[in-house]
Amino acid sequence: MDRNFSPPGKHRIKNHYVSPFLAFLTGFSLLFLFGWIGFPELLYEKQPQPIAFNHKLHTKLADRGCESCHAFRSDGSFTGVPGIENCAPCHSTVENGRSDEVRLIQDFIEKREDIPWLVYARQPDSVFFSHAAHVKSGDLVCETCHGNIGESTTPLIYEKNILTGYSRQIWGQNMVLAAGTSFFAEVRSISAREMKMDDCVDCHETHELSGGSVQTNKQGCFICHK
Amino acid sequence: MSKQTMMKKREQEKRRKFGMLIDLDRCTGCGSCMVACMSENNIPFRKDETDKLTSINWIRVFKLSNHKPFPETEICFLPMPCMHCQGKETGHTPCVSVCPVTATDYDSSTGIVSQIYSRCFGCRYCMVACPYHSRSFNWSDAVWPEGMEKMLNPQVSPRMRGVVEKCSFCYHRYQEARDKAHFEGRRNIAEEAYQTACTESCPAGAITFGDLNNPGHRIHQMVQPDLENGGRPKQKNVFRLLERLGTNPAVYYSSTRTWVRNMGDNRLLQENRQHTAAGSNLQDRRA
Amino acid sequence: MDTTSGTGRLNHCSPRRFYLQLLPVFVLLTWGIYAMIRVWALGLNQTHMNNVYGFALWIWADLAIIALGGGAFFTGLLRYILGKKELTAIINFAVLVGVICYGSAMLILALDVGQPLRFWFIYWHANVHSMLTEVAFCLTVYFVILNIEFLPVLLENPKLRRIPFLKHLGHNTHAIMGLFAGIGVFLSFFHQGSLGGMTGVLYGRPFAYREGVLIWPWTFFLYTWSAAAAGPCFTLLTMKLTELVSGRKLVPDRVVDLLARIAGWMILSYTVAKTIDTVYWAGTTTVAAGFSWTRFYSENALFHGYWILVLEIIVCGLVPGLILVSEKGRIKKGLLFLSVVLVVVGICINRWTLVMQTVAMPVLPFEKWSLYLPSWQEVATTLIPLCSGIILVALSYRYLVLFPEENQLN
Amino acid sequence: MKLNRRGFISLGLGATAGLTLSPLPYKLLDDISIWTQNWPWVPVPRDGQVSFVNSVCTLCPGGCPITVRKVDERVISVSNRKETIDSASGVCPLGLSGPQLLYTPTRVMSPMLRSVNGFQPISWEKAISILVSRLETLREGGKPDKLAALAGSNLGTGPALMNRFLGAFGSSGFFHMPSADDAWEAVTWKLTGRGFVPGYDLERATTVLSFGCAIVEGWGSPLRSMHARSLWKETGTTLVQVEPRLSNTAAAADRWIACNPGAEADLALGMCRVLLERYPVCRDRLGAAVTNPDEFSSHLYHHYSLEQVAAMTGLTGSMIESLAVDFAASKHPLAICGKDEGRSPIASREVFATLMLNILVGRINRPGGLYCIERKSDSRLSANFLHAPEKVFAAAAETSEPSIELLLVAGANPCYSQSNPRKTVEAIRKIPFVVSFASHWNETAMNSNLVLPVHSHLEGTTDFPVYSGLKQPKLGLSKPVSKRLFNSRYMGDVLIETASRLGDAMAPFFPWGSYETYLKQSLGDRWQELNEKTVVDLPQPKIRSIPMMNTSAFHSLPTRLTGSRQEYPLTLIAKVSMRLNNNADASSPFMMKTVEESVLRKNRGFVDINPDTADEQNLSEADSVMLETPHGQATVSVHLDAGTAPGLLVMARGLGHGADDEYSGGKGTNVNELLGEMTDPLTGYNIAWGARAVLKKV
């Protein structure tokens, strides 16, 4: 109370300083917290998918599971995210006038434009990833890397790293743990959820896919790079 | 595929060593290999490309001359991609051994020297180490004129400014072939399934590409590499550039002309005298 | 004024005058920084380097600067490990020169890479087989060490001494300086060597390639050796220049004499070693590659001729060596400093040829020699070390105790 | 509460500590370097479905088969994939540049009308009505003959349709850029009354005597010639190259005869004389082929003694003799002519001499010999050789009242490729209205009033007959590999629509709805097969036996170069290279990148010169000089080349384009400007193979 009435001069006269320790603590906690909490908020930009796609629904209807839309081409390459031509056959006309469906038909199917999906597992341009090697020869199932995306009813919010442009997380963090439960894998799965080359390397090493490079005793870079 | 078969597949892969033989008597210096390489590997082009020292080329065609006066003059064209050296002891390639960040690497399962643009940080030590000048640096950002970016090949990653690039033996075509093989559950990759763009484009059929370790491949017979000695050619008239340095290139050349073969390596003065003497016997075919 | 500098110096010019004198240097520095920004913003097309000249002026500057900065570790070795107490009179200055040189070297390296933002790859994705990796690591660590070594000198400044924490810090670091010096010497041995290794391992480049022991080519040892010889000389040289500028005697003659004598023996022995190396290289190494050594010096005689050998080994090696080891030679200060200059020049030439001639000379019989002239951006940025050096020395001289015996001497 | 220095420092220290223990600095460091790996200004080509389309390359008369690689709709690269690697394949640099030529910004993107302030884009509707009104005024003015058309060739449905259009309109002014084959037809016409073109059986010949044919630098059908030469390496066929300089072909040859420039015919006739003197069988063959053997022999006897020929060719008598003997001794000797790429008209003497040589060694219509092929094309089209385009343009330029008022140009670029281009430009500019059908901007389009965009070679379906020296002529079909990028049309469609707009006088002659229906109809039953294979054999009406011929018309002495030796001591000739586009249009950026430093540096072209000649002129490498000929001048640099004959200057073709393409425009000199014209006395074609020249220091 009386503080308010006390003349401002008073304080200046008995000017007691902040103790160095307190200052240190303030500085520390401020930036420590900013680094752990504030910074990620700034780094990642939340983006909704162009259309609230329901994987669960589609996988139920589709006869060949994931491969119905995410298929191999005859030359062994992988189509990845399907083009609009995969949607057109079923979605010729508006059935339940849900805004998404209307948008799908008006903005994309009728204009014959591909839907600009935000791909969680998008790879850098310098990466050559062979689905054939992993799925056909390696006998991996989609879930190993892409997690339970197939059972999702609404797409996960896409958190875009504004510096790198990549998704904050590969669906369900499986990417990291797929590498087998090495200590570092565990740590990474908690901390950095963005996919890194180490994730590939770990997995390849646990499957003893090493050799090639004399420098690194790992596989040659061109196994996965272009 | 079970683990054992995968191991087997890898074992069998380990034995591969891709190499190239260029017949200098057939090469006509037309330049198709250079253009084919540019369009296959998204090599940038500038408005003025006459300064060859800053120009990016994965394969260059040199014009050799016997330095004799008219009309005894003879010339020979020599195309030069990256030599994909095996190095003194396997993997100790001149460039690979010096790269501080393993941006370039020798893969003993294919014998191909890789270059990763997203790893390279542009110190250019590898360029200094390479006696063949096979490496180019991206001095500026590549610019494709309006519309021309459409012709970029998605199998090859365009480079950013400030990194080193070089011939990859069109490795992406090997990846493509392997993709198909995986898809079809095969392991073997046929000779014709993996051929470089320059090989394919050569109208004179001067380039032969294949697996030096595979007796079934044409190049193996044409070169007869001595695999104990870094693949030194046993076949007559076949030679490699700068054999004496021990870089052990995977690119071989052949010519029936002695003076051309002499151009392939450095010789001491006295040696030169002997060789030129030997070379002169070919001059009589000149009118 | 006196209070601003705690150096106990009496005749002290006003800050205004002090900074005015430094103005031209600052101007030059600004030019350099402008060029530096251009290079980082627009890329290496700002230089005249090309696919043949992958290494050029900058790398040379690096090698030279680090060799000249070698004074710090070598003087440190003599002072702290071999216990040459009298060198206390110059050790602070030697360390300062070291800090400047290594700082500049790292800056230039940061300029020289095509992707500066990926600089940390060299630490994180290090390829242990590469000499450059070795250089980067030792360089960085040693730079830190040098700063620690310089810290007490900095903390001598009375203003800072008022803060007890820093005061104690200063004292304690003083105490363990020997340890740091030791580490410094160890690291220096390696990175000075690795710099020599950088060209020595290039078995694709007959001009540069050298045999050696284990993974280290002979140039590895020659570089360390020559740095140990040239470093102290450079320290003496800069010290002399400071004396001339300040117009005061800074280091007692006996110290100069001692350092010069040691440097003399080093350069002399180095010259011998270098000669042996050259002879062996010319007679064996290059012959194996199919080169008669005369080719290196006759094909492009104007720029890369025999004159280099004469200048480097005899004029800038043997001659100053003999002068410096002889009592008579050292007595004449003029002669002493002349030979000091010669040694410094010699080392610069040595680094220049090993970088420039290596890349200039074609290895394929059908390729041509190429020549290179640096762009103004390269020159300007290469002047940054010089300018910042002058400024830092001036500032330190004004505000710190660089030469403990200065006041007794005047 | 206040913060003193100590407090402040500890705050700073704390902050630093806190930061280092948070992921921020490391994450930032990492992500920033990842950012440098995905710079937004570095294009990322989109992945997609890979597909291959077979077609025929129509960029030069060679008509080679190509396979185009596509990713989704994008054209990526051109190759020549074969099932087996051993079979001959490959593509030339020009063919490989297909994608660049498709996507280049120098394409004509919509109809363009020239107005006072440059070209303005207009609609097709407007463009065609302009054309129609122009035609109507001509018709109403009662001067339909003032309509003329210039086509790139006289082969295929395109030119035929154009010719038909003019015919229907009432004009006989259809011209095409004359070719080597035209010269052959003209000459053989004169000799025998039946025009035919040469079909060289390169593959089966055992000795090939080439009079300056750039076999490995794009001669005839480039790939075919290259393959033949590679084949010779295996079969042991000898290639003898007669050429004044060490061209790539000369270097690739087994024997290089450094003959004086322009003396090829003299050498051939000299050899004929040797053969006639030595071998009775040759005399018999002459008697069987010629009505006036004695006249011919005496002509040779008087003008082609070894000494005379030696003097003309700069070779020694013994060398000429041995050449002739070796040639005759070979199992299947074959003499071929057509300098450089063998596409521009050949001097009638050269054709004649080559023919005689082959006759004397008895290789006419024989395996490994010279087959006489009558072209399927309506010979009227090719036989009006006596007024070659340059003559017409010259006339148009000279007469005060223009002989041409409306000119249609299609598939040709006379303003660059014709001899003396400057004069051509003047002439064209004098013509009141010029319409050019072009896929890319070129010099001629630049000088026209109306530019109509046609499909590029990868966008349309076109038939493409190929003779160019093939023993078995082919018919190719180019396919629409890519979907059309711009507002382009077939020239045929434009003509058909124009005709229909011109009303009953014209319409009935063009009953087809579109060019493609016309194409299908004219190809008839072959359409199906052609559509599958893209290349089929043309039925080749061979002339079994050539009618007896009279050679007297050819007993004239060679045409000499204009200009005095004193004024112009040197001789300039052109050289071709596969790295440059020597046809009408400019080279691709990729091709320009392969051009050697000894040919072009910055924007300066080079001429090769013998080191000794350079010494005489005291010139050294890369010195820049003023090169002057009676026809023009240009600043060039010199390149010292030991392979060039003394006294000779050699300049590369395909440079010096004016069209505003930043990648090829304004680089080097268009050698045609310096070579000028040299009219063949018999055919009237321009046969300039060189020009007297002088170098002046600048």
Domain that holds residue B29: 3-285
Q: Are residues D361 and D388 in the same domain?
A: no
pLDDT more than 70, % of chain D: 94
pLDDT (tens digit, 9 = 90+) per residue, D655-678?
999 867 889 999 999 999 999 888
Residue B108 pLDDT more than 80?
yes
pLDDT of residue D396: 67
How far apart are alpha carbons B50 and D667 in whole angstroms? 10
pLDDT (tens digit, 9 = 90+) per residue, D546-564?
778 888 888 876 678 888 8
Residue A99 placed within a domain: no
Nearest CB to A17; choose among D2, D18, D38: D2
Chains that touch D (3 or more CB pairs under 8 A): A, B, C
Would you give the distance in Å from CA A87 to the centre of its chain? 24
Least confident stretch, A167-171, B154-158, D183-187, D483-487: A167-171
Whether B131 and B247 have beta carbons less than 8 Å apart is answered as yes
pLDDT (tens digit, 9 = 90+) per residue, D379-414?
444 444 445 666 677 666 666 777 889 999 999 999
pLDDT of residue D383: 46
* Inter-chain touch B30–D592, beta carbons under 8 Å: no
pLDDT more than 90, % of chain C: 61
Burial (CB count within 10 angstroms: exposed 0-12, middle 13-18, buried 19+), residue C257 = middle
Q: Which pLDDT band holds residue D23 (cuts at 50, 70, 90)?
A: confident
Q: Which two tokens stand for residue B78?
A: 């020599």
Query: Which residues of chain B neighbour C139 with C-beta distances below 8 Å?
Result: none
Choose the most confident range, by mean pLDDT, from C363-372, D119-128, D342-351: D119-128
Greater pLDDT, D340 or C157:
D340
H runs (alpha helix) in C281-304: 286-288, 294-298
For chain D, the average pLDDT equals 90
Residue A152 placed within a domain: yes
How far apart are alpha carbons A176 and A200 in whole angstroms? 8
pLDDT (tens digit, 9 = 90+) per residue, D490-535?
999 999 999 999 988 899 999 999 999 999 999 988 899 999 989 9
Query: Which residues of chain D neighbour C117 with C-beta distances below 8 Å?
Result: 32-33, 35-36
Residue A70 placed within a domain: no
Q: Are residues D493 and D600 in the same domain?
A: no
How far apart are alpha carbons C229 and A46 in whole angstroms? 61
Write the DSSP assignment of D35-102 as a string of letters: HHHT-TTS--PPP--EEEEEEE--SSTT--EEEEEEETTEEEEEE---SSSSS-----HHHHTHHHHH
**Amino acid residing at D199:** G
Write the DSSP assignment of B64-111 as a string of letters: EE----TTS--EEEEEE------TTTTT--TTTTT-TT--EEEETTTT
- The residues pairing with D408 across neighbouring beta strands, listed in sequence order, are D149, D435
Compute the C-alpha angle A30/A31/A33, nearest 5°: 70
In our burial notation (b when 16+ CB lie closer than 10 A, e otherwise), range C212-235 reads beeebbbbbbbbbbbbbbbbbbbb
3-state secondary structure of A46: strand
How far apart are alpha carbons D118 and D112 in whole angstroms? 9
Q: Which two tokens stand for residue D255?
A: 């024997």
Specify the fold of C49-372: Formate dehydrogenase/DMSO reductase fold (1.20.1630)
pLDDT of residue A4: 45
How far apart are alpha carbons D675 and D574 in whole angstroms? 8
Q: Which pLDDT band holds residue A203 (cuts at 50, 70, 90)?
A: confident
Compute the C-alpha angle D169/D175/D181, nearest 5°: 140
Least confident stretch, B194-203, C8-17, D227-236, D684-693: C8-17
Mutate to test the interface with A, among B96, B105, B156 (most CBs of A within 10 A): B105
pLDDT (tens digit, 9 = 90+) per residue, A40-97?
889 999 998 999 898 988 888 888 888 888 999 999 999 989 888 888 888 888 877 7
pLDDT of residue A8: 47
* Inter-chain touch D3–A18, beta carbons under 8 Å: yes
pLDDT (tens digit, 9 = 90+) per residue, C172-202?
777 777 888 888 888 888 888 899 999 999 9
Whether D407 and D434 have beta carbons less than 8 Å apart is answered as yes
Q: How many CA atoms lie within 13 A of B7 on its CB side?
A: 5
For D419-470, strand residue ranges (E) read 433-438, 450-453, 462-466
Would you give the distance in Å from CA C394 to the centre of its chain? 19
How many folded domains does chain A comprise? 1
* Inter-chain touch D12–A18, beta carbons under 8 Å: no
Query: If you compute the radius of gyration of chain D from its CA atoms, what whole number of angstroms results?
Result: 29
pLDDT of residue D379: 45
Boundary residue ending a domain (D314, D338, D372): D372
Burial (CB count within 10 angstroms: exposed 0-12, middle 13-18, buried 19+), residue B65 = middle
- Compute the average pLDDT of residues D364-383: 75
How far apart are alpha carbons B61 and B28 in whole angstroms? 10
Greater pLDDT, C157 or B198:
B198
- 């000799």: which residue's tokens? D191
How far apart are alpha carbons D394 and D412 in whole angstroms? 17
Least confident stretch, B39-48, C212-221, D155-164: C212-221
**Amino acid residing at C318:** L
How many folded domains does chain D comprise? 4
How far apart are alpha carbons D198 and C113 in whole angstroms? 61
Nearest CB to C51; choose among B53, B161, B264: B53
pLDDT of residue A201: 84
pLDDT (tens digit, 9 = 90+) per residue, D269-295?
999 999 999 999 999 999 999 999 999
pLDDT of residue D256: 96
The domain that contains D609 carries what CATH number? 2.40.40.20
* Inter-chain touch A124–D3, beta carbons under 8 Å: no
- Asked if the bond preceding B154 is cis, omega within 30° of 0, the reply is no
How far apart are alpha carbons D355 and D361 in whole angstroms? 10
pLDDT of residue C209: 94
Q: Are strands D474-478 and D50-56 parallel, antiparallel or unpaired?
A: unpaired
Q: Are residues D361 and D259 in the same domain?
A: yes
- Reduced DSSP (H G I as helix, E B as strand, rest coil) percent helix, strand, coil of chain B, to 5: 30, 15, 55
Least confident stretch, A14-23, B1-10, B13-22: B1-10
The domain that contains B82 carries what CATH number? 3.30.70.20
Chain D residue whose CA is closest to B59: D594
Burial (CB count within 10 angstroms: exposed 0-12, middle 13-18, buried 19+), residue D501 = middle
Burial (CB count within 10 angstroms: exposed 0-12, middle 13-18, buried 19+), residue D10 = buried
Whether C90 and C259 have beta carbons less than 8 Å apart is answered as yes
Q: Quickly count: other Cβ atoms within 10 Å of residue D432's Cβ.
A: 12
- Compute the average pLDDT of residues D190-206: 91
pLDDT of residue B11: 56
Domain that holds residue A180: 117-223
How far apart are alpha carbons D1 and D357 in whole angstroms? 112
**Amino acid residing at D645:** A
- The residues pairing with D370 across neighbouring beta strands, listed in sequence order, are D200, D364
**Amino acid residing at C202:** L
How far apart are alpha carbons C176 and B256 in whole angstroms? 72
Residue A59 placed within a domain: no
Domain that holds residue D228: 198-372
Would you give the distance in Å from CA A130 to the centre of its chain? 19
Whether C47 and C372 have beta carbons less than 8 Å apart is answered as no
Chain D residue whose CA is closest to C163: D6
Q: Which residues of D touch C (CB under 8 A)?
A: 5-6, 9, 29, 32-33, 35-36
How far apart are alpha carbons D572 and A188 in whole angstroms? 73
Whether A43 and A162 have beta carbons less than 8 Å apart is answered as yes
B106 touches C: beta carbon within 8 Å: no
- 């493609």: which residue's tokens? D516
Chain B residue whose CA is closest to D322: B287
Query: Which residues of chain B neighbour A164 with C-beta distances below 8 Å?
Result: none
How many folded domains does chain B comprise? 1
3-state secondary structure of B116: coil
What is the DSSP code (8-state) at residue D538?
P
How far apart are alpha carbons A10 and A12 in whole angstroms? 5
Burial (CB count within 10 angstroms: exposed 0-12, middle 13-18, buried 19+), residue B47 = middle
Q: Are residues D224 and D119 in the same domain?
A: no
Residue D260 placed within a domain: yes
Q: Are residues D84 and D206 in the same domain?
A: no
Query: If you compute the radius of gyration of chain A from its CA atoms, what whole number of angstroms results?
Result: 26
Q: Are residues D68 and D116 in the same domain?
A: no
Q: How far lies A15's CA from each of A4, A9, A23, C350, C393, in Å?
A: 17, 10, 16, 64, 40
Would you give the distance in Å from CA B11 to the centre of its chain? 25
Q: Quickly count: other Cβ atoms within 10 Å of residue D398's Cβ.
A: 11
CB-based contacts of C247: which residues, under 8 Å, 6+ apart?
Answer: none
For chain C, the average pLDDT equals 89
* Inter-chain touch D29–C120, beta carbons under 8 Å: yes
Write the DSSP assignment of D561-582 as a string of letters: PSS-TTT--EEEEEE--TTS--
For B175-267, strand residue ranges (E) read 207-211, 225-226, 232-233, 238-239, 251-254
Q: Are residues D384 and D525 in the same domain?
A: yes
Least confident stretch, C145-154, C337-346, D169-178: C145-154
pLDDT (tens digit, 9 = 90+) per residue, D329-345?
999 999 999 999 999 99
* Inter-chain touch C118–D33, beta carbons under 8 Å: yes
How far apart are alpha carbons D549 and D195 in whole angstroms? 12
Phi then psi for D533, rounded to 5 degrees? Answer: -85, -20
Q: Which pLDDT band holds residue B233 (cuts at 50, 70, 90)?
A: very high
How far apart are alpha carbons D610 and D619 in whole angstroms? 10
Query: Which residues of chain A neighbour D25 with C-beta distances below 8 Å?
Result: 35
The domain that contains D286 carries what CATH number? 3.40.228.10
Chain C residue whose CA is closest to D6: C163
Closest CA to B166 of B57, B38, B55: B57
3-state secondary structure of B20: strand
3-state secondary structure of D13: helix
pLDDT of residue B282: 39
Q: Please count the residues of chain D.
A: 698
How far apart are alpha carbons D426 and D428 in whole angstroms? 6
pLDDT of residue B6: 56
pLDDT of residue A7: 47
3-state secondary structure of D170: coil
* Inter-chain touch D254–B49, beta carbons under 8 Å: no
Closest CA to D146 of D486, D441, D506, D399: D399
